[in-house]
Structure 1
């Protein structure tokens, strides 16, 4: 006799660009299976068009917290922004596990390789990412982080791929055995980049949802 259906995993894109949410949703299709938890991808309407600065990251914290409070039915939450905005707050507002994609991406990359590299959308993003990794205590495993110089909105498109491949190859040259896509908007690029580099490429939203699945199903 089957038990109750598992509670849904709620994946929140903290920017207001629905095209980014659609790309995330498509990348998560492989995690949906009969009898498994629903994976809902939501767009934070109050968010900026792209979370590209410290101000943007701070601005979405309280709206994210309110969204979490409105979803007591959720089995787990994933904050699909590589700055992990609102992660600490949201964890205080729900008994459900809350996963940030930067934390999940870094942990997954370290499970695949001794040293990892990160592709950032811009130079301005790198400082935020380094502060988070310093708190995680993983900087010794970081081979490098390099910027594409594109917007969140453009990072998943064909026009950005040449820059993404160039930066990925540079990170491999830096000693990275695995590459993390440092923006949820890059989700559509993962498989193509992995083929081009011949190295593991981590979509951090996929990494976070994999962890959320484990938490919900266990």
Structure 2
């Protein structure tokens, strides 16, 4: 066992200030902070959850194709107030930095060249495309996390049994800090049409298939 690993296990030993490729799986008792792990170069995609590095599930071609299609449609429809990005950390606090499939956020007062994580207070919409390895996170943990931090809108994109897409659109209840289904269109099939956070139409059928 390396000395760096012993630092986590031996009594009286000092916890390293930065995680590295040998120690990331041995967080200190209080957990890692994002500043301690952001420099890691790991052979997999990951998020920081309650101070622990969690491996993101591998995704299939269909997932990535749908994600990118939603990204392109949102970028084409966005108003000047918003920016749209995929694969970007969102900083909820120093020990929680989820990486949603797509986010819509307000870029004002953020440095284009310096931003590492988008502050959760800047996020207007989170989109998650559900795959077998992310069902619990996308349906339960992440909606609760983003709602508790006042993200106004959440879309959950699911693949139906007939291999069509269903987009579950949620709005935030500001009093309870919980999401509820969009009143007039809780689930979109074939085509997504909504006015929030800005007007957008997405041909869902066109996102599935070669």
TM-score (norm 2): 0.28
Q: Which has the higher helix share?
A: 1
Report 1 or 2 for greater relative contact order, CA contacts < 8 Å, sequence distance ≥ 6: 1
* Bigger radius of gyration: 2
TM-score (norm 1): 0.28
